[in-house]
A and B are shown apart, each in its own frame.
Chain A
Amino acid sequence: SSELAQDPAVSVALGQTVRITCQGDSLRTYYASWYQQKPGQSPALVIYDKNIRPSGIPDRFSGSSSGNTASLTITGAQAADEADYYCNSRDTGGNSWVFGGGTRLTVL
């Protein structure tokens, strides 16, 4: 089975841009989806497919992909963006799905 690797923690100054990455072999075949989770809440979808935001997700969130790496970029980070972020993809074997270990974003 494949794995998805994320940096455990990232910080960004208020109003600056931050990129959260996710690496894995399955990302050469499939696009990742990205989830934001705030303390005590369920995960919420923020980006999926090439770069699609669900309704209600601010346009400062964007996604991209190259080779085996998917990225979630927040342009002009806000205090409200402080959360854990998880990537997800279907396994290249086709019979499972996998989450990255998560990245804790701190907005300074």
Chain B
Amino acid sequence: QVQLVQSGAEVKNPGASVKVSCKASGYTFTSHWIHWVRQAPGQGLEWMGVINANDGTVIYAQKFQGRVTLTRDVSTSTLYMELSSLRSEDTAVYYCARDHSNSNCWWFDPWGQGTLVSVSS
């Protein structure tokens, strides 16, 4: 079955960077884009960006431009989200999710299990 398995929880100091991984299985890795979404404690979902697993093309949310980097490793079917200059407000659960689309709709399915990133001094 299609699965996205993410790396474990991270604790970081303010100003540091974090790199979260998302390993895909059960489908042709290069045939789907992958989105990254985060959720701060008690808050809603926030879209961060998307990467084309085939050619590495990325689209970032304006809010995260310059601070987030999405990459992928085709040889291991793994996607990565790196967020730099961390601050306390970046404390959140980070999710990867597989993209699907037609001409009129985009949907995310499945989602990874989430990775908690805690930023604290």
Contact = CB atoms under 8 A, between A and B. Distances in A.
B104 interface: yes
A19 interface: no
Interface in B63-121: 95, 97, 100, 102, 104-114
A45 B109 contact: yes
Contacts of B113: 42
Interface of B: 35, 37, 44-47, 50, 59, 61-62, 95, 97, 100, 102, 104-114
Interface of A: 1, 29-33, 35, 37, 42-45, 48-49, 54, 84, 86, 88-90, 95-102
B52 to A, nearest CB: 13
Contacts, number: 71
A45 B45 contact: no
Contacts of A84: 44
Contacts of B61: 96
B59 A96 contact: yes
B34 to A, nearest CB: 12
B55 to A, nearest CB: 17
B59 to A, nearest CB: 6
Contact of B106 (A33, A43, A102): A33
Contacts of A48: 100, 105, 107, 109
A95 B59 contact: yes
B46 A30 contact: no
Nearest to B101: A90
A45 B104 contact: no
